[in-house]
Each structure stands twice: as structure tokens, then as C-alpha cells.
């Protein structure tokens, strides 16, 4: 007599897709979320006898093993087993059985192979049932990526379009962006991105075993969206030369970029800047099931030496000395936030985590950034993983201008504790309105609490130096900055100056400005006013000088003086 065997599988894709919020993923493969049961029906060539047992095996990745939690073997039961792969027999008719499969809420995400064995004392019958894809589950309270608000889940996981804010602090504009995480082949491409990572190339089995952890997965994606250390998705270009590629300004979504990378056999797509990296990363993480949004920071610091200041060196005309100035302030910078628990740090740091795929600085030898807890940034806990000092500086560095004299001495001529990190913005839930989330990153500028947090952050960095985790900060000029220097208040000036725009600027027309000088002393002052102006990129890198002139001005005690300047 022929043995019993499985002859047919019904994956119940419509039912499971609706229950798991995965019905929009195209293609024949079942897509489900971890920590939640999904149901399928097995048809057999004859009824299952009482002595026969149905045993299931799930496997993901190469060299799958139970020790690495990339393989599980289990038989049907009557009740669900918590935090373990479980197969619950729902119904059974003469030749069919409906089974619910439940994965643990911390299961490895990715492609799985499911197979079954009908086992009896006489013989075993094995059958490969097929493939399914397991994603993170923001609807599951036990999942590290759980997000309680249904409105936010709809926005940050399921919405396939949005806006990205760009421009300058006083003129913020919105650009539409198609994330397209449910477009044809995008899920397959997103999983392929993980398989192309440096960690996977070095040790595939171990890499896959870590994919249960959103910290690990998001950090890997942060590295792979840029192409600096690997054959990542997007190649950056900030010099205005876009030959052989597409200008970053011309992209309006992630789908074309991801398709081009995949179809081009993983050749980096030319070209991207911060909003492109952030748009692509948002697509990938939403596709994998992690709630993610795009965040824009205006007057964003790039602190190259992690001393929490932007140090600008100028000559007597105010021209930036490029060979000495390594830090910079960008008109705007765009990154991502993803929502998940920080089991490595503790529940106080759960919630939004900063991730930045723009290749600015290396983190543990690779161009990536985050995840950094937004709460940790607000509280000045810059010693916590990952990349806290860099992100803290982006939103709350002090801006210092140094006058570099001919004898190579320097003089601090300007300090601003409020300049960096303005109008931190993201799209509103359910609309395209701009929401200001600056208060999530720092206390009100100028408040005592904000200054206390800044001092705390500086001291945390100093303690990292003392413990041997960092060395003294050095600049290209050879001038080191110790922590004490950073906490000293700026010297009160005796002369002040501020530009005033006389007429609203119009593209292609002259720009009319007035320099308003003030003498704060009780005696007359003879002032030499050196003026320079240059066109800049959004990263504030000078391109061409358009103004260079000098004036002698006498200011009487407590007098204000206005000097006009005009350039086209």
C-alpha cells in the first residue's frame, strides 16, 4: 500500500495578506509578519491516521541551523507555544488539514523554505511545501519594532508616498517622493541588499542569524544604501558634475533607483545627495516592516572631529580658509528615523532612532550612521551606541568662527549656540503638512536645560577620552581643542555687525544689503570693514567670490552706522 504524502498546498494568500497587512506585495510568494499566525491547507493522497505525525521544518539562509536560530523543526500541536515556532492543527477533513503556523516575535526575517514530513512507525514521507517571506511586525506587541498607533503604522509602514523637506530655514519647500515599497520586485531587491552587505560576504550564516535584530538590520542598510565601502545602491556626488548619471535633483522616487541597481548587477546608481539616500532607505526599511520616516534638519552641522563644535576659520575679509576649516554647516540635511526598542540600551531609549545613509563619516570603519536614540541625543547621552556624538553635533553643535592671523595665531571672533539644528521637520501623519520635531532632539535653545545638556555631552566625550576610547581632538592646522575650551563663554564684543536685506531677493537681479554696525563701548572706534561674498552650494561650500571690498568707518560711542552693499 502506498504511503501517505502531501499532494497540494493552498497558502491562502488573500486571507493571510489581509491579516498581516501584506496584501499589497505583488508576486506568488506568501509574505507574512513574525509573531503572528498564518494559515495554509494541506491536501494529502489519503487520510492521516492516528499513529502518523506531521513534522514541519523552516529554514532561512545558507547553512541553516537550530543553534543559530535559522532553522526550526516542530510538529503539530493543539496549542500555541510562546516564543517558538509552532504549528497548530485548526481543522481536519478526510484528506485535508488546515494548519496555522506561528513564528516567534524575534524570528529572523527573510526568505524561508517550509517542508513537511509525515512520520509513522513504518515510513516517512518528505515534501518541500515552498517558500514564504517573513517580515518585521509593527502590529505585534512582542516584536521589538512594535508601534502602538494604527494611524502611525499606516503612515510609516504602509504609505508608499510622501514628501521630503528641503531648502533653507526661512524658505522650506516640500518635494514629493514615491517610496514604492510595494512595487514589483522591490521586496526581493530589499532582501538582496542585505545579502550584498560586507557582513554577509564575510560570514553569510552568522549574518543571517543576526537579522532578528532591527538594530543590526538598520545599521546594515545604512551602510548599503551608499556605495562608499561596497557595491551599495547609490553613489554620492556633491560637485555639480553628473556626467554618466542622473542629477540628484531629477530623482522623484526610489523605485527606479532600486531597479537600476538590481538590473545593473549591483553597480551603484549615479547620483545621489542626502534626500536621495534618505528616500531610498525609507523605502527599504518600510518594505522590511520597520516604521520609518524622513527627517530634514536645517542648518545641519557636519562635525568631522566629534568635538561638538563647528569651527570655521576665516581671514581678515571673512573668507573661509578651506585648508583649515574641516567642519561645515549645511543649509539642510536629510536622514531617517525608525521606530524600535533599544534592548541594548534599555527601555528609556526606545522609540525613534536616527539612521543616516549619506556617507559623511566612517562608523567602525564603514560609512554609515546609527541607529542613535533620539532620546539619547536630547539628553546628551552621546556615549551610547551608535554614533551619538556625530548626530548630537548635527542638531546642537556650537558654531564658532576663528580669525586666523598672519602669524598663525587665532582669535575667537564669533560664537552662536543657537545657529545649528533649526526647524527639524518631518511629514505629518495623514497629510503633507510639515511637523516641527525640534523639541524631540533638544530642549529650547537658550534655555538653561539645553546648556546643561550640551555641557553634559561635552563631559561625556571627555570621559571617553580619559578611558582611552578617544584621543585628543586635532585639526588640520595642528591646533587641538580641549573640552575646557568648548565650555568657556565667548568674549562679549565691543563692535557688532548684522546684515539687513533691503529688498526681497529676486533670482537674476541685484541683491541689496545693508551692514548695520554698532559700537557698544563708551569711546569712539575706528573700524576697518572688510566685506566678501561668495556663491555657495547647499552644503555651504563656496563656489565663486562675488564681493570683495573694504571700508573705513568711524563709530561714535554707542552709535549705530549703516553701510550698503549691492551685488548681482
> Binding residue per annotation — 23?
no
CA–CA gap between residue 186 and residue 258 (Å, rounded): 7
Can you say whether residue 167 is alpha, beta or left, with left for phi > 0 and alpha for psi between -120 and 50 degrees?
Answer: left
Cα Rg for the chain, rounded, in angstroms?
29
Residue 445, annotated ligand binder?
A: yes
| Helix orientation angle between 214-225 and 186-195, rounded to the nearest 10 degrees | 90
66 labelled as ligand-binding? no
List of residues 6+ apart from 187 with CB closer than 8 A: 25, 27, 31, 133, 181, 287
20 catalytic? Reply is: no
Segment (H or E) for 284:
helix 274-288
- Give the active site residue among 190, 274, 282, 369: 274
Q: How far is CA 98 from the centre of its chain?
A: 42
Catalytic residue among 20, 21, 200, 333: 333
Task: Pull the grid cell for residue 295.
Answer: 527627517
Please identify which residue in the block is written with the cell numbers 565601502: 229
What span, in angstroms and rounded, lies between the C-alpha atoms of 530 and 138? 58
- Say which residues have a Cβ less than 8 Å from residue 505's Cβ, sequence separation at least 6: 511
Q: Vertex 149, ends 148 and 153: CA angle to 5°?
A: 100
> Coil, strand or helix: which one is 413?
strand
Q: What are phi and psi of 201, to 5 degrees?
A: -65, -35
Residue 210 C-alpha cell reads as 543576526
Single out the catalytic residue among 207, 305, 327, 356: 356
Q: What residues does 32 pair with on adjacent strands?
A: 134
Asked if 333 and 421 count as a contact pair (C-beta separation under 8 A), the reply is no
Q: What is the DSSP string of 433-486?
A: -EEE-HHHHSSPTTSHHHHHHHHHHHHHHHHHHHTTSS-----TTS----HHHH
337 is in an annotated binding site: no
For residue 4, report the phi and psi dihedrals to the nearest 5 degrees.
-75, 145
Decide if 250 is catalytic: no
For the record, the C-alpha cell of 425 comes out as 521637520
At 279, is the secondary structure helix, strand, or coil?
Answer: helix
The question of whether 21 is a catalytic residue gets the answer: no
Using alpha carbons only, what angle is made at residue 205 by residues 66 and 193, rounded to the nearest 5 degrees?
130
- Active site members: 274, 333, 356
Residue numbers belonging to the annotated binding site for Ca(2+) = 396, 398, 445, 450
Residue numbers belonging to the annotated binding site = 396, 398, 445, 450
Amino acid at each position: 500500500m502506498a504511503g501517505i504524502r502531501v499532494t497540494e498546498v493552498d497558502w491562502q494568500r488573500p486571507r493571510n495578506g489581509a491579516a498581516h497587512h501584506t496584501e499589497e506585495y505583488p508576486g506568488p510568494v506568501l509574505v507574512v509578519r513574525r509573531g503572528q499566525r498564518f494559515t495554509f491547507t494541506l491536501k494529502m493522497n489519503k487520510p492521516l491516521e492516528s499513529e502518523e505525525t506531521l513534522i514541519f521544518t523552516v529554514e532561512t539562509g545558507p547553512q541553516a541551523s537550530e543553534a543559530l536560530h535559522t532553522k526550526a523543526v516542530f510538529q503539530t500541536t493543539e496549542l500555541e507555544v510562546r516564543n517558538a515556532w509552532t504549528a497548530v492543527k485548526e481543522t481536519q477533513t478526510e484528506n485535508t488539514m488546515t494548519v496555522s503556523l506561528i513564528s516567534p516575535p524575534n524570528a529572523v526575517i527573510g526568505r524561508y523554505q517550509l517542508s513537511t514530513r509525515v512520520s509513522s512507525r513504518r515510513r516517512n514521507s518528505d515534501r518541500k511545501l515552498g517558500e514564504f517571506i517573513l517580515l518585521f511586525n509593527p502590529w505585534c506587541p512582542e516584536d521589538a519594532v512594535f508601534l502602538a498607533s494604527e494611524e502611525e503604522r499606516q503612515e510609516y509602514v504602509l504609505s508608499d508616498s510622501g514628501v521630503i523637506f528641503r531648502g533653507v530655514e526661512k524658505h522650506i519647500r516640500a518635494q514629493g517622493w514615491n517610496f514604492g515599497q510595494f512595487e514589483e520586485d522591490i521586496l526581493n531587491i530589499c532582501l538582496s541588499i542585505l545579502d550584498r552587505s560586507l557582513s554577509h560576504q564575510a560570514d553569510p550564516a552568522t549574518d543571517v542569524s543576526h537579522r532578528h535584530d532591527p538594530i543590526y538590520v538598520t545599521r546594515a542598510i545604512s551602510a548599503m544604501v551608499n556605495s562608499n565601502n561596497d557595491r551599495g545602491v547609490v553613489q554620492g556626488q556633491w560637485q555639480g558634475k553628473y556626467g554618466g548619471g542622473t542629477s540628484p535633483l531629477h530623482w522623484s522616487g526610489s523605485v527606479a533607483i532600486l531597479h537600476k541597481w538590481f538590473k545593473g548587477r549591483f553597480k551603484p546608481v549615479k547620483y545621489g545627495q542626502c534626500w536621495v539616500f534618505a528616500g531610498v532607505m525609507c523605502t527599504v526599511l518600510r518594505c522590511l516592516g520597520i516604521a520609518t520616516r524622513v527627517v530634514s534638519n536645517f542648518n545641519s552641522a557636519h562635525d568631522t572631529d566629534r568635538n561638538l563644535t563647528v569651527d570655521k576659520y576665516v581671514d581678515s575679509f571673512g573668507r573661509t580658509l578651506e585648508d583649515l576649516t574641516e567642519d561645515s554647516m549645511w543649509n539642510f540635511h536629510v536622514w531617517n528615523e525608525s521606530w524600535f526598542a533599544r534592548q541594548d540600551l534599555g527601555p528609556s531609549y526606545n522609540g525613534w532612532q536616527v539612521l543616516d545613509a549619506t556617507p559623511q563619516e566612517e562608523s567602525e570603519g564603514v560609512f554609515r550612521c546609527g541607529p542613535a536614540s533620539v532620546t539619547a541625543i536630547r539628553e546628551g547621552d552621546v556615549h551610547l551606541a551608535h554614533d551619538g556624538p556625530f548626530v548630537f553635533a548635527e542638531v546642537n553643535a556650537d558654531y564658532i568662527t576663528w580669525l586666523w592671523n598672519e602669524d598663525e595665531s587665532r582669535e575667537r571672533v564669533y560664537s552662536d549656540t543657537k545657529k545649528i539644528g533649526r526647524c527639524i521637520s518631518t511629514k505629518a501623519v495623514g497629510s503633507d503638512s510639515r511637523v516641527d520635531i525640534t523639541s524631540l532632539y533638544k530642549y529650547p535653545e537658550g534655555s538653561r536645560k539645553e546648556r546643561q545638556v550640551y555641557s553634559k555631552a561635552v563631559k561625556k566625550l571627555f570621559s571617553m577620552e580619559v578611558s582611552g576610547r578617544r584621543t585628543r581632538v586635532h585639526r588640520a592646522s595642528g591646533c587641538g581643542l580641549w573640552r575646557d575650551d568648548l565650555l568657556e563663554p565667548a568674549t562679549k564684543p565691543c563692535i557688532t555687525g548684522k546684515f539687513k536685506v533691503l529688498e526681497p531677493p529676486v533670482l537674476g537681479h541685484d541683491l541689496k544689503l545693508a551692514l548695520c554696525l554698532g559700537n557698544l563701548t563708551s569711546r569712539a572706534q575706528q573700524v576697518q570693514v572688510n566685506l566678501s561674498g561668495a556663491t555657495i552650494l547647499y552644503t555651504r561650500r563656496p563656489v565663486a567670490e562675488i564681493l570683495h571690498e573694504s571700508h573705513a568707518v568711524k563709530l561714535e560711542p554707542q552709535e549705530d552706522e549703516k553701510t550698503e552693499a549691492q551685488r548681482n
